[in-house]
Amino acid sequence: MSNVGLLYVGAVLFLNGFMLLGKVDGKSAGIFNLFIGGLQVFTPIYIILTANGDLPTIFSASGLFLFGFTYLYVGITNLTNSVANGVGYYSLWVSILAIGYSIANFTYLGDIKFGVIWLMWSYLWFLFYLLLARNKPIGPYTGWIALIQSWITCTIPGFMLLLDVWNQVTDVIIILLGIGSFLLFTFLYFTGRTFNKTTKLKTTV
């Protein structure tokens, strides 16, 4: 069930990336954020209630709330035209916590692949903090990172998990993907300084 949620997190990141690029209206995206936020709150509740006290399962499910509350917050903020700095500071808290989830996956859960993916999510949430709370002119850059991560951290892993072929992807491949992604993100930032001098967007994640 959490794999289904991961797949649709890819969808909302994909949509929000286009919102940051000025291709999708904020209120229109806000509606879809509510759909996925609701899914990502219901899913971990169900998993935790049926986990029979299994702590690794409960811990993994708890991370889904970070996504669920983010998208509910974004959806409500967009639809009510509220100031987005609250989403930004919440994103800072999530970014820090995501590093903890990454470390826990590397050590406690022994899941190298999602340890790397959590680091990439931490970076994305930190960009949302800089954009929404600190008003840094990085809207288009953040949009492109959201679009890229929608595929490599959510849609493709979620789809492969549903097909039960995710185990065929080795830890080395994901580590190399992670390193390559951060190199790409750095390249996009320094080569795209001009396109970051753009639009003031109220919110997105």
113 touches 133 (CB < 8 A): no
Q: Does a structural domain hold residue 120?
A: yes
| More confident: 204 or 170 | 170
Roughly how many angstroms between the first and final C-alpha of the chain, as a whole number? 22
175 touches 117 (CB < 8 A): no
Q: Does a structural domain hold residue 197?
A: no
CATH assignment of the domain containing 12: 1.25.40.600
What is the predicted pLDDT for the residue at 196?
A: 55
pLDDT in tens, 49-87: 999 999 999 999 999 999 999 999 999 999 999 999 999
Confidence at 33, pLDDT banded by 50, 70, 90: very high
Q: How many domains does the structure of the chain reveal?
A: 1
What is the predicted pLDDT for the residue at 52?
A: 94
Q: Does a structural domain hold residue 136?
A: yes
What is the predicted pLDDT for the residue at 192?
A: 75
Mean pLDDT across the chain, nearest whole number? 93
Q: Does a structural domain hold residue 73?
A: yes
Which structural domain range is residue 54 located in? 2-191
The reported pTM is 0.92
> Which residue intervals of 50-170 are DSSP H helices?
55-80, 85-106, 112-132, 139-149, 156-162
Q: Does a structural domain hold residue 119?
A: yes
Confidence at 199, pLDDT banded by 50, 70, 90: very low
Q: Does a structural domain hold residue 181?
A: yes
- Give kind and range of the element (H or E) at residue 134: none
Q: Does a structural domain hold residue 200?
A: no
Q: Does a structural domain hold residue 33?
A: yes
pLDDT in tens, 118-134: 999 999 999 999 999 99
